[in-house]
Chains A and B, each alone.
Chain A
Amino acid sequence: MSVATMSQNAGVCFNLSDDHKMVRDMVRKLATEEIAPRAAEYDRSREFPWDNIKKMAELGLMGVMVPEQFGGAAMDTLAYVLIIEEISKACAATGVITAVQNSLGSYPILAFGTDEQKKKWLPLLASGQKIAAYALTEPGSGSDAAGMKTTCVLDGDHWVINGQKNWITNSTAAELFVVYALKDPATKHKSTSCFLIEKGTPGFTIGKHEETMGVRASGTCPLTFDNVRIPKENLLGEENKGFNIAMATLDCGRIGIAAQAVGIAQAALENAIKYSKERAQFGKAISEFQLVQEMLVNMATQIEAARLMVWQAACKRDAGEKFGKEASMAKWFASEVAVKAALDSIQVHGGYGYSKEYPVERLLRDAKITQIYEGTSEVQKLVIARHLLSEG
């Protein structure tokens, strides 16, 4: 085999296609010019960033992977992670809203919905006319998702849902909720089903807007279902197969959160580089001090590694391969990198980094949640371990 043939068949290519570059450049420009300048204010006010979302929706960013026939952009997972990284670099709250809309809202409908459900909901979600939320977590069940207590009972042509959900992103804005419930807590995931519940359904109340540490504008609220009756057609996927839907959805979702973490980390790095070149101590820019350089180097190298892991998970998914292990690896690693990068960036900034005048303290608060939601770092490790031990 000639060298030329070998390199052609090399299989690993770290260059983005021109189309992917165009997507990234466009989103970077949008994020820099329009989203970043408002991020601090949204963090303070906790208002849902409608102007960001509307602008992004016009550009197709609310339906990245939704097929054209349903009003989406029909792009791939790689394009999606590039988008989430760039948006999150500017505003992590807007990043997670976008991630939820795309991978927790549209995805399960696309993958498991009926034709009617797809036709009804996907165009509304892809165009950003309606925002979706994803309700799995409960006050008493986080990592142990199957330990949920929300119940569903079939009563004639209706399902009746009772229970509570917690920490549900997008709730202040969402009109469609993807909700999990089970028939009998004793049978756990074996009786779990997934439902589409619209805002305004009698008995369904959206609780108070939570005061969270980070991603404060992401509209996170608890939900209460008190004898909420929904038509049978609102069952998403097969009865009792809800847990599979949840797991498949989270696999995809984790790639998005990993991309969000990379974006936050990248923002931390860029802020640190900029500040270190501006800030002078002992008569020179602090970027000239090797201990400062070490922090920059650590950040940059780890971010690069995290990004490549995210890209790999995305490319595997696009190639139709199994990607659950890679998604969990990427999510665990990238979220750890994000927290460390944010901490180091604050350190580079010194006292200014600890103040609200500079954006890096927000980055730390935003980074922390990436280790928690859509599966904590510990859960990711369990998932990875399960893959490792079952693959052998």
Chain B
Amino acid sequence: MSKVILVFGQVRNSEPTRPTLECLSLAAGLGGDVHCILLGTGAKAAAAAAGHQGASQVWANEDASFDKWDLAAVANTVDAAVKSTGAALVLVPATTHGKELAGKLAARHSAALASEVIGVSADGDGFKAVRPVYSGKVRATVKLSGSPVFATVRPNVLDVAAADSSKTATVNDLAAGQGDSRIQLVSVETKGDTGAVDLSEARVVVAGGRGLKGPENFHLIDGLATAFNGAVGASRMVVDAGWKEHRYQVGQTGKVVTPELYVAVGISGAIQHLVGMQNSGCIVAINNNPEAPIFKVADYGVVADLFEFVPKLAEELKA
């Protein structure tokens, strides 16, 4: 019997999220028996996609209470599945929710937890993981001992294998675990810009920096992001100056993003920024200073006045 690899899946609009698919692809590639947990509204509908991605078993609970995050309840629910499946490896997307779930369960099991991994491989009876450390300046290969072991998987790094619609998963019911009355979700507010693509999951990020000269010019970044169908990001300086909120910040003390395409506009490329985006697939830098350090990590550099160039680029993309 091959080992069970349990993926904690996240559901949005009755589909597994992209980071969930990445986890499933990773699990399937390890040659284990892949199980997937899906909770909340649309969980069972999402099970089909999980099956196409290689899950043999889906553990689902469609209770709408799971749509609102309750760490204790989710942890207790998942914990039951970890135990019942005898999972050797539990993969969780390294999202805000995923990371706190994995940490909590790893502590409960006194188990190894590798955070924000960008690769996992089988290693005899156990597993090894590769993860960026020192703000991405170094990559560590770590050996995870014991069973089960946990890993959170950094979104947007791993490929998703082509879905195979001939593969299906058996859908099983998973009983909901007990919540913790000491912590109550009061509200979930959706920001005005939900329509816009989320920064940490975006395929394309267009980020603006000091070169924009003022918040009144940030619409250039918004416009370019729309033209790329991408998300908006910002440098630390932009956030510290109050032009954009912290959730837009890329880099140290902001988000680490790894989109397929990162467009840095008017960002000089301080190390604090580079650590947040240097592992992006393709990097475009637009800056009027040919000596700006951002060009060192850029695949394509454009030395130009951004106020002139950015509208032209947006226009060209729409053409």
Contact = CB atoms under 8 A, between A and B. Distances in A.
A and B directly contacting (CB within 8 A): yes
A275 B291 CA distance: 8
Contacts of B291: 275, 278-279
Nearest to A280: B291
B163 to A, nearest CB: 46
Interface string A269-294: 00000010011000000000000000
Interface in B45-83: none
Contacts of A279: 291
Contacts of A275: 291
A311 to B, nearest CB: 29
B293 interface: yes
A275 B290 CA distance: 12
Interface residues of A, number: 3
A127 to B, nearest CB: 27
A278 B293 CA distance: 7
Interface in B285-305: 291, 293
Interface string A245-282: 00000000000000000000000000000010011000
Interface in B260-319: 291, 293
Nearest to B293: A278
Contacts of B293: 278
Contacts, number: 4
Nearest to B240: A33
A278 B291 CA distance: 6
Interface string B163-176: 00000000000000
A271 B291 CA distance: 13
A279 B291 CA distance: 6
A275 B292 CA distance: 10
Nearest to A357: B289
Nearest to A279: B291
A111 to B, nearest CB: 42
Nearest to B210: A37
B77 to A, nearest CB: 45
A120 B291 CA distance: 53
B273 to A, nearest CB: 15
B9 to A, nearest CB: 42
A38 to B, nearest CB: 13
A10 to B, nearest CB: 36
A277 to B, nearest CB: 9
A275 B289 CA distance: 12
A168 B178 CA distance: 75
A278 B270 CA distance: 13
A344 B293 CA distance: 23
Nearest to A278: B291
B311 to A, nearest CB: 25
Contacts of A278: 291, 293
A348 B13 CA distance: 59
A187 B31 CA distance: 100
A275 to B, nearest CB: 7
Interface in B119-159: none
Nearest to A33: B240
A279 B296 CA distance: 12
A278 B290 CA distance: 9
Interface in B218-268: none
B298 to A, nearest CB: 14
A278 B296 CA distance: 9
A327 B293 CA distance: 40
Nearest to B296: A278
Nearest to A352: B291
A279 to B, nearest CB: 6
A341 B291 CA distance: 22
A247 to B, nearest CB: 46
B239 to A, nearest CB: 14
B108 to A, nearest CB: 39
A141 to B, nearest CB: 48
Interface string A24-47: 000000000000000000000000
A275 B293 CA distance: 10
A351 to B, nearest CB: 13
A279 B293 CA distance: 10
A316 B71 CA distance: 61
A253 to B, nearest CB: 36
A278 B295 CA distance: 10
A122 to B, nearest CB: 35
Nearest to A275: B291
B43 to A, nearest CB: 47
A86 B291 CA distance: 26
Nearest to B295: A278
4 contacts: A275-B291, A278-B291, A278-B293, A279-B291
Nearest 4 pairs between A and B by C-beta? A278-B291, A279-B291, A278-B293, A275-B291
